[in-house]
Each structure stands twice: as C-alpha cells, then as structure tokens.
C-alpha cells in the first residue's frame, strides 16, 4: 500500500517539476510575450484618431508629451501629432 502512495507522490512531484520547466522555457524564449516582455493577451486599445479598436500587440505605439498612445497605423499617429501641436 505504501508503494502506491510513494508512486502517487513521485508522479505529483514530477508533474510540478515538468510544469515549472515548461513555464521557464516559455518565459526565456518569449513565445508568449511582447517586445517589452509582458505576456500577450487579448487586450484591445482604441485609436484616439479614428476610434477603431485594435489588439495591443498590433498597435503602433507613440509617446507624445510623456503620455503613451496607441494607433492603428502610422498615418493616424502623424495626424494625432499634428492635432496636438496646433
């Protein structure tokens, strides 16, 4: 009977070690992170110019006046910069 408990304990230990190793590999290779090292998700952001929603990982990122903005295209970023300078 104790052999059964020993085998179950070893299987549980093996599961946790394998899970930790897989998470470490994912983190090191960056398979599930963006360029800043943050995990990718389904987060959507709204373009302040044309008001379209786009996935955060596909957005054009600009820092204007110390504030970070997200745009659907480079054209919208340029338009926004022109509006801010007026």
Domain range holding 26?
Answer: 1-32
28 & 44 share domain = no
**Which segments in the chain show pLDDT lower than 70?**
27-41, 86
Q: What is the tens place of the pLDDT at every residue in 57-79? A: 889 999 888 899 999 999 999 99
- The model carries a pTM of 0.52
The DSSP string of the chain is: -HHHHHHHHHHHHHHHHHHHHHHHHHHHHTTTB-TTSPBP---EEE-TTT--EEEGGGSEEEEETTEEEEESSHHHHHHHHHHHH-
Structural domain total, the chain: 2
39 & 22 share domain = no
Q: What is the pLDDT of residue 45?
A: 92
If we measure between CA atoms, which residue out of 53, 40, 48 comes closest to residue 68? 48
48 & 84 share domain = yes
46 & 14 share domain = no
């Amino acid at each position: 009977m104790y052999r059964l408990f020993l085998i179950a304990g070893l299987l549980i230990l093996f599961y946790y070690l394998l899970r930790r190793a897989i998470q470490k590999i994912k983190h090191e290779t960056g398979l599930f992170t963006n360029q800043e090292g943050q995990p990718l998700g389904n987060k959507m952001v709204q373009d302040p110019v044309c008001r379209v929603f786009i996935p955060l990982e596909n957005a054009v990122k600009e820092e204007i006046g110390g504030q970070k903005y997200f745009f659907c295209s480079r054209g919208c970023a340029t338009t926004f910069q022109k509006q801010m300078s007026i």
